[in-house]
Every structure is written in structure tokens, then in C-alpha cells.
Amino acid sequence: MIRINNLTKRYEKLTAVDNLSLNIEQSEVFGLLGINGAGKTTVIHMLSTLLKPTSGSATVNGFDIQKEPEKVRSSIGIVFQVPSSDDLLTGYENLQIHAMLYGVDPDMREKRIKDALELVGLTERKDDQVKKYSGGMRRRLEIARGLIHSPKVLFLDEPTLGLDPSSRETMWKYIQQLVKQEKLTIILTTHYMEEADMLCNRIGIMDKGKIIALDTPTNLKLMLGGDIVKLKLKKQDSDISILKDLQCVKKIELLDGYVILGVDDAKKNIPEILKHVEAESVESSSPTLSDVFLKLTGKNIKEQAEGGFMERYVQYDKH
């Protein structure tokens, strides 16, 4: 659905996007994860034809972003970082105007608007001016607007930036519903790790204009050596060497009288582990994308520190 070849955007001194190549398949929910300034929005702007690449090429829905920009624009819906609906118009009017701009068939228009409003839960507020909407409602209106012309691809640029936690969860709910109902390809940028984890099939971690890791959220987390299990043994001097032979145990370390294990699928394997040692207490935690991100983009020092395994443990201990 999207093919990107060596896409580059260079400003005078800064290379915002550096030789990016990437394929995104149909119906995929793809996440671009990175800190501010990593180049995520620049990628979106280039793919949506708002910004000309310095070099490289890309196609969206089979159309070249530089040679056929209007066809690309007809194929995509986009939700910008900053809501861009007109404050003085009502939600309905914003959708109506955009339906016309996108050339939605007049016979279909009313139905599309009605469906879009329903999907984002704004039917009751459709005749209120947008200036009376909350931040979350504005974002949802943007999504409705992005869907009004039944696009093939939907870009969501930081869809929950600046929303409070409960609005963010509502937004996630709507996006998940969207994925279920419409057979859309979605490209989402975010710097919230939980968001990428929850919504995306595949994630590209961006840093300094490059994609430094590309995989499913699960595989990315596996890169860190699985879940962490923390045991306090009944007898301090018990023999734990047997744990080394268990297939599910990847790492063993000792810290302050605790045994810290790196384990594949802790939930399933803890009983197995407990067959071999007697423990007073057991705690387990799963790595998050934050950990992956920290490991990949964090300073080299962290990478050198044995995959950050102990560091992660220390982090969890603080919580």
C-alpha cells in the first residue's frame, strides 16, 4: 500500500529524514515511534504530498507522491498533530465542507457524514461549533473528517498528543473500533509507547531520521530477553544451578538476596520454575516498548551495560 525508497528530507543543516526505505502492507496498522524531532511528522508530510522530498521516492496506493499528488491526496485521510478544523463552524459543517472538497458523491454525502459522526461518537454534538468541543472531541472530529471520503490510507500524527489520560483511552477505543470496522491501512506516529504497543501490528522505531528497528511489538519486546521474574528464596543458599538448565530461563542474576531471572512467557513458566526452587515470594513483570526504546535510542553506555537487563530490573524495583 505504501512503498518508500530512500526517502530523504534535508534542511540546511539538519537531515530530518535520512534515506528511509519501508513497505507498508494493506490493512496494516503501522506505528512510527520516536521522540520529538526524530522525523516522524516529516515522513507523514512527505507521504501526504505537503512537503517535497530532497531525494528518494514513495508511492501511496500505487500513486507516486511527486508525480501524482492529487491522486495520492484523494487516497489518504490525515489527522494532523494540531487539530485543524474550523472553530467557528459546527462539527457537521466541517465534515460537509470536507466531503465536498474531496468530491464525495452528493447522494452519498449525508450518509458518509452520519456514519463518520457515529463512528467517533459525535452525533449528539454535531450542530455545536467546534470551539465548544473538548480536546478529545476535536481529535475525534478530525478522525471523522479524515474518513469522510473513504480513504485507503489514514495517517494519524500523534493522535493523542496533549490529551488527558481518560480522553486518550477513549481515543484508543475509537481507533481500535475503526481498525475493526473499516479495512484501512493506518500509519500512526506517536511518542507514547503504550499507544504504539496497544494499537499497532508493526512498529518502526525512528531516531535521527532513520528507522533503527522494525518489527511487531511482541518481537521488539523479545529483543530484551523476555519477562523478568524476581524470586526471594526460602533458603538463601539453595542451589539454583538447576534453573540454568530450564529452557524458558534465559538469564540468571543475583541482587540483594533476590534471584532475578529473564524468562520467556513468565505467566506460563513460573509454575515450572517453582517446581525446582522453593521461593518465599515471586514477582514478575513484562518489558514494555519503553524499555526497547530506551535500549535502542538511549546512549551507548546503556547498550554496553549488558542489554540493560539489570537496569530494567532496577527500574521496575522503583515502581
* Phi, psi (degrees; rounded to nearest 5) at 133: -80, 150
100 counts as binding other proteins under rule CB under 8 A:
yes
* Phi, psi (degrees; rounded to nearest 5) at 104: -65, 130
Q: How far is the CB of 142 from other proteins (least distance, A)?
A: 8
Binding residue for other proteins (CB under 8 A) from 14, 35, 101, 254? Answer: 101
Q: How many whole angstroms separate alpha carbon 17 and alpha carbon 272?
A: 47
Phi-psi category of 255—alpha, beta or left, where left has phi over 0 and alpha has psi -120 to 50?
beta
Binding residue for other proteins (CB under 8 A) from 9, 40, 98, 126? Answer: 98
Binding residue for other proteins (CB under 8 A) from 10, 71, 202, 232? Answer: 71
Residues 121-150 binding other proteins (CB under 8 A) are 129, 145
The residue among 71 and 202 lying less far from other proteins, judged by its C-beta, is 71
10 counts as binding other proteins under rule CB under 8 A:
no
Kindly report the length of the chain: 319
54 counts as binding other proteins under rule CB under 8 A:
no
Binding residue for other proteins (CB under 8 A) from 64, 93, 253, 303? Answer: 93
Segment interacting with other proteins (CB under 8 A) among 83-91, 119-127, 183-191, 252-260: 83-91
Binding mask 220-259 vs other proteins (x if CB under 8 A, - otherwise)?
Answer: ----------------------------------------
The residue among 46 and 273 lying less far from other proteins, judged by its C-beta, is 46
265 counts as binding other proteins under rule CB under 8 A:
no
Q: How far is the CB of 126 from other proteins (least distance, A)?
A: 15
The residue among 83 and 204 lying less far from other proteins, judged by its C-beta, is 83
Closest CA to 243 of 208, 206, 282: 282
97 counts as binding other proteins under rule CB under 8 A:
yes
Binding residue for other proteins (CB under 8 A) from 6, 26, 67, 82? Answer: 82
Binding residue for other proteins (CB under 8 A) from 28, 30, 48, 56? Answer: 48
> How buried is residue 91: exposed, middle or buried, by Cβ count under 10 Å (0-12/13-18/19+)?
buried
Tell me how crowded residue 190 is: count the other CB atoms within 10 A of its CB. 23
Segment interacting with other proteins (CB under 8 A) among 87-95, 192-200, 204-212, 268-276: 87-95
88 counts as binding other proteins under rule CB under 8 A:
yes
Instruction: Evaluate the CA torsion angle 310, 35, 87, 120 in order and state its sign.
Output: negative
Query: Do 192 and 31 form a contact (C-beta atoms < 8 A)?
Result: no
The residue among 158 and 227 lying less far from other proteins, judged by its C-beta, is 158
73 counts as binding other proteins under rule CB under 8 A:
yes
Closest CA to 139 of 70, 211, 83: 83
Q: How far is the CB of 48 from other proteins (least distance, A)?
A: 5
Q: Which chain residues interact with other proteins by CB under 8 A?
A: 45, 48-51, 70-71, 73-74, 76, 78, 80, 82-89, 93, 96-98, 100-103, 106, 129, 145
